[in-house]
Amino acid sequence: MISKIRRVYRVIRNTHISFRLLRQSPVVQIHRDGIEILTRYVDRSSISIVDPSELNFWVLFRCLLTAKFQMKSYMAAVIKTQQPRVVITFIDNDPTFYLLKSLNASPVYIAVQNGLRHNYAHAYRSGFVDHLANAGGKDQLVADLICTFGKGSSLFFENHIHAKTLVTGNLKNNLLDLDEPKRPDFDIVFMSQHAPFDITNSEETIYLNNSSVSIHKFYEIEGTVAKFLAQFCTDHSLRFAVSGKRGVEDVFEQEFFSKAIDNLPFIFLPRISGHSSYVNAFNAKLVVVIDSTIGYELLSRGRKVAFFSARRIGESRVVGEDRDTCFGYPNVYPDNGVFWTNYAETAEYSRILNSLLGMTDAEWAHQIQPYTEDLMVYQPGNSAFIQMLQNEGIPLKNEGSQRA
């Protein structure tokens, strides 16, 4: 009993407690992330948010009386109270969501993929696939539908979770309306994936299955690729920039690249808004990434993207083992191709850059055509997602109905 009280105290200590009475709601969203997408199509008054950062006192009290205080039990109790038609989440990598249907089967449970699902993490055996296995695996984890980036992601989720899938692409990417510049400011832009903190004195370790690497080695490729690109652009009289992943206030990111690139010329473009990275990418003739989601988003839009997917965590990169950092994961492709390589070799980098810079738009479209459906589709306006909401009987705003 004492341990239970301590656990409850730890949960609510930094949590906002709401005393409002819950009402019935046609849609319950688990976690508030993604609400700006959903409210483009569904009226905000029709959506109730269940987020661990804010607990309802009355539901919490009932859970404590029945000795069932686990987050999944709390969420299930809220869902039972609000009797929604659909329960949706945009945090597709939360295993708790996939346990809810076994506690309350009535609503339709829908997850929306919002990122690539690699299995590496900051602690041993704590990646996404590890968490799914620890939560019971496919025998215990259930959803009615998972909206995915592409066919490869659909197969991945179907292998780990009992669910049907719908390929929708990345909903945020599908909503971005960016104009093609008349003359790009840069020839090559490298998309940073720097950690959200200064790694200079960090002693963290990155784990993947039974392999591990220091955080410095994990991010080392960011610096070596940036320096290679800076030298390549200098040698070929090309304009080069690094697009930052972190905000203007995070000076450690610019310092990291300034140190790596040394005295070679480059422009650093800090992240100034939620879509500034896309603007930077559209302002380049060619974009280079390691293994970031934005690379696949740009590819889906037909942009020229080079993938230098040579980040290493372990020595073993056989099929199905430690290949999370390889190009196209969870799909399996050869270790090099027209626009990608899994090898940290400057000759490979040069081969790809020279090929892509000399390639016409028509040639590029032909080269990527076999891959986009598997990697990530592009559906402007999110037509498949809207149609799915309509099929589930969710009242849509006029804008959403017209777009469908």
- pLDDT in the model for residue 319: 53
Query: Which tokens hold the place of 267?
Result: 């422009």
- pLDDT in the model for residue 401: 45
The residue whose two tokens read 């800090």 is 270
Same fold, 27-169+381-403 and 177-370: yes
Looking at the domain 27-169+381-403, which fold is it?
A: Rossmann fold (3.40.50)
- pLDDT in the model for residue 362: 97
- pLDDT in the model for residue 316: 57
DSSP letter for 99, please.
Answer: G
Per-position b or e across 256-285, b if 16+ CB within 10 A of its CB: bbeebbeebebebbbbeeebebbbbbbbbb
- pLDDT in the model for residue 58: 54
**Would you say the pTM of this structure is higher than 0.85?**
yes
- pLDDT in the model for residue 322: 76
Question: Rounded to whole angstroms, how far apart are CA atoms 28 and 127?
Answer: 27
Question: Rounded to whole angstroms, how far apart are CA atoms 68 and 62?
Answer: 9
Cis peptide before 184 (omega within 30 of 0): no
Q: Give the pLDDT of the chain (404 residues) as one tens digit per residue.
A: 455 555 555 555 666 776 676 788 999 999 999 999 999 999 999 999 988 877 876 577 677 766 566 788 888 888 988 899 999 999 999 999 999 999 999 999 999 999 999 999 999 999 999 999 999 999 999 999 999 999 999 999 999 999 999 999 999 999 999 887 778 999 999 999 999 999 999 999 999 998 999 999 999 999 999 999 999 999 999 999 999 999 999 999 999 999 999 999 999 999 999 899 999 999 999 999 999 999 999 999 999 999 999 998 876 565 556 789 999 999 999 999 999 999 999 999 999 999 999 999 999 999 999 999 999 999 999 999 999 999 999 989 875 444 44
| Beta strand 86-89 pairing with 54-56 | unpaired
Query: Which tokens hold the place of 108?
Result: 């339709």
The closest alpha carbon to 145, from 124, 168, 127, belongs to 168
Structural domain boundaries in the chain: 27-169+381-403, 177-370
Say if residues 148 and 170 touch (Cβ distance below 8 Å).
no
CATH of domain 177-370: 3.40.50.2000
